[in-house]
C-alpha cells in the first residue's frame, strides 16, 4: 500500500505546474484514509504559502469530505 507521501509525489510528477495544495487534494481524493493521517501529511507536504490566511480547522474539515474514512 502506498503512503500519502508516495501518492502526493506521483501527482506532483504528473502535474508540475499545480500548487502543492492541489496536488495533495488530488492524491487523497476518494481514498480510504484516516483523517489524522491526512492532517499530519498535509502539514508535512503542503507549502505553507499555499494555505496561508486560511484556518486549518476549516481546511481539515474540507479534506475530510474528500476521503473515505475506514470503518473501525
The set of cell numbers assigned to 41 is 501529511
Instruction: Tell me the pLDDT tens digit for each residue of 7-66.
Output: 999 999 999 999 999 999 999 999 999 999 999 999 999 999 999 988 999 999 999 999
Does residue 9 fall inside a structural domain? yes
Helix (H, G, I), strand (E, B) or coil at 32: strand
Task: List phi, psi (to 5°) of 50.
Answer: -75, -20
Does residue 20 fall inside a structural domain? yes
38 lies in which domain range? 4-66
C-alpha 13: how far from chain center: 15
**What total number of domains does the chain contain?**
1
From residue 22, how far is each of 1, 29, 34 by CA, in Å?
A: 22, 11, 19
Does residue 72 fall inside a structural domain? no
pLDDT bucket at 70, cuts 50 / 70 / 90: confident
Does residue 57 fall inside a structural domain? yes
Does residue 58 fall inside a structural domain? yes
Does residue 71 fall inside a structural domain? no
Does residue 25 fall inside a structural domain? yes
Amino acid at each position: 500500500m502506498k503512503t500519502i507521501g508516495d501518492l502526493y509525489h506521483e501527482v506532483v510528477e504528473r502535474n508540475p505546474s499545480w500548487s502543492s495544495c492541489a496536488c495533495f487534494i488530488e492524491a487523497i481524493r476518494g481514498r480510504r484514509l484516516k483523517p489524522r493521517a491526512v492532517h499530519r501529511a498535509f502539514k508535512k507536504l503542503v507549502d505553507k504559502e499555499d494555505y496561508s490566511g486560511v484556518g486549518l480547522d476549516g481546511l481539515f474539515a474540507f479534506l475530510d469530505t474528500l476521503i473515505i474514512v475506514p470503518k473501525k
